[in-house]
Structure 1
């Protein structure tokens, strides 16, 4: 099939590029594909990646307190993350830093944490919860570990659903994604052939593939490495089409296999864990559920529009709570993904790469105004939450 010119942005304008000739796109994995796949799934860091992991682009010598309760180590070793944090906050006097890997308990210092996918039956939607606890309590976390392994395995299966939608193909899903993004037949077929080769490589090397690499972003990483062979505008179009397919697949993904939020909360409380609701703008209905949690994340790089409003609502809820009850606390999550830091800068998401563990707008004048009214600040939250976790 010959290359098909793609539609220009303006009516009547000339398209500045064309899609690849499909006759030149292989159907079976090549040696170059095998090398590309090995690089994408590898979790071993090169000297250059170690340098990126440990050397932040900016430091915060004036920040004396570091609170970080929502961040993802991914495959970056904690030792390197510790070096980065030392460089970020050279004059820090107090720290409460707990990692929250997706559905996997990890430890940093005296504490362990996790971000759990679960199901809110009252609102019929997937939500997430942040759990934090002292690391010695992991000795009794047998049930929680089993729940997390089940959830991690189920979440990983989204990749195979994603790939199946492209490969089978599921005509309705493909048609919807193409219509939403303007992808033409050549783009759709180009994606299908590449995903077929990824599937073949994943199947052949399954036993050797690190489980941290079995994620939806595997496909996005693959196509990013093809920018040297094709124009950036074409790969951008491919990525836009892929995101549309992924969004449709995720929307249709069954929630029945997730544990209920109430079940996760019950198990976490049995271990003396603290619980925080993250991403308030994504999960706002759950704030009405009166779950047994320690507080809300009122700011996140993906959820920052209603920060002042959420602080005021949380303050009002605390005013109405019985004096004997523990108040809800304000939290902020930088949602840093350390894996983004070690990527080649050409392939980094600028928005994600800009995030740093422990960097949140506690001292922003508008936010601080609301925090003062609510009787909250970073120092008070650190002291109170540490007391709850240690109690």
Structure 2
């Protein structure tokens, strides 16, 4: 009689024991691979050769995207290859807490804190280049925020290797993680900690971020198998969420402080991420507009357009209209990874690719709101150039 294997057997895995706690040559190689900003010829080819081309696109709006460590010249080549026939565009990079420039404009996505509803939020800040030549206060605010935000990585690491039992127990309970897997994770996170300590003085500042853990474990897939590493990723993601929830917000600048400084520099302000829409909208902050769609936030787009249209119809004479934006939230570093290690939901994002503008149901609401992509590009460019 032929035995039929239970389908669940395919998903069983064994957590290896007796893993060396010493840093091996392989560990060093992985660490340098995931923290290096040097690009191979294959990686450069992946960046400048998009998988899709959009020859019919004439207007390109991209005011929410992250170059990460990719040179701007390569980003420019990718954009030109993807959208060869654009006649008007507004392209502004928004690195997390770091100013970056593309042609005539400079941008940043800045973390800040809204005390009224006790929430960390982000603002997209955009400037004409000449308006921030002497923006010493803003640059110092961003440097402080970048340094503080980077410290979250070490809170994340210490939660696992110290450990902070309450957080680990919560994450284990949420993900069904047993002690053997926690032990496996702890060994490697301690190695990552020691490697960071050993090489910190020589690492690019932008390499110090939470995704070091995720990227390091991804590189262990060939050694330990996808299923084990997927379970690891599920667990450490749960830990990261708990760390973020407990990360003190009081060291971020208040949203009102950031807005005041940006306005003094003639900058523009856009609220990204529709899931943060309501608290900020109710707070009536002085912003230029709101993002009503991006690849990870699509559920309420039509409704949010209606709300903004309604608010515009009740604004006082002389008040600027709230602009309706869409964002792609592209992280260009994802394009450099081996395709087998890419996260599809992030790898498929592209600078300026916002198909919601062409969605028929969404178009109905945009028409009622008397707006479209070209109008937004023209109006926002004009505001930034004043």
Scaled by the length of structure 1, what TM-score is found? Answer: 0.95
Which residue does the alignment assign to 2:207?
A: 213
The reply on whether 1:345 has 2:339 as its aligned counterpart is yes
**Distance of aligned partners of 1:287 and 1:26 in 2 relative to their CA distance in 1, 3 Å threshold:** same
Which of 71, 80, 104 aligns to 2:65? It is: 71
Task: Please list the CA deviations of residues 266-295 of structure 1 after superposition, one character each: whole Å capped at 9, or x if unmatched.
Answer: 000000000001102134311110000001
- The alpha carbon displacement at 1:15 in A equals 6.5
- The alpha carbon displacement at 1:19 in A equals 2.4
**Distance of aligned partners of 1:13 and 1:81 in 2 relative to their CA distance in 1, 3 Å threshold:** closer
Which residue does the alignment assign to 1:388?
A: 383
Which residue does the alignment assign to 2:365?
A: 370
Which of 98, 111, 132 aligns to 2:92? It is: 98
SS in structure 1 of the partner of residue 172 of structure 2 = helix
The reply on whether 1:298 has 2:273 as its aligned counterpart is no
SS in structure 1 of the partner of residue 68 of structure 2 = coil
Contact 1:140-1:271 at 8 Å conserved across structures: no
SS in structure 1 of the partner of residue 224 of structure 2 = coil
Count residues with an aligned counterpart.
Answer: 380
Pairing 1:58-137 to 2, within 5 Å after superposition: 58-137=52-131
d(CA) in 2 for partners of 1:17, 1:209: 38
The reply on whether 1:173 has 2:143 as its aligned counterpart is no
- The alpha carbon displacement at 1:136 in A equals 1.3
d(CA) in 1 for partners of 2:11, 2:281: 48
RMSD: 1.2
Which of 294, 305, 308 aligns to 1:311? It is: 305
d(CA) in 1 for partners of 2:193, 2:277: 33
Contact 2:16-2:184 at 8 Å conserved across structures: no
SS in structure 1 of the partner of residue 276 of structure 2 = coil
Which of 29, 32, 55 aligns to 1:35? It is: 29
Which of 17, 22, 40 aligns to 1:22? It is: 17
- The alpha carbon displacement at 1:16 in A equals 4.2
d(CA) in 1 for partners of 2:289, 2:80: 28
d(CA) in 1 for partners of 2:297, 2:250: 27
- The alpha carbon displacement at 1:13 in A equals 4.9
SS in structure 1 of the partner of residue 160 of structure 2 = helix
Contact 2:13-2:227 at 8 Å conserved across structures: no
Which residue does the alignment assign to 1:154?
A: 148
5+ residue gaps, structure 2: 1-5
d(CA) in 1 for partners of 2:381, 2:10: 58
The runs of at least 4 aligned residues of structure 1 exceeding 2 Å deviation read: 12-21
d(CA) in 2 for partners of 1:59, 1:302: 22
d(CA) in 2 for partners of 1:133, 1:229: 47
The reply on whether 1:335 has 2:321 as its aligned counterpart is no
- The alpha carbon displacement at 1:356 in A equals 0.7
The reply on whether 1:198 has 2:158 as its aligned counterpart is no
d(CA) in 2 for partners of 1:90, 1:13: 49
5+ residue gaps, structure 1: 1-9
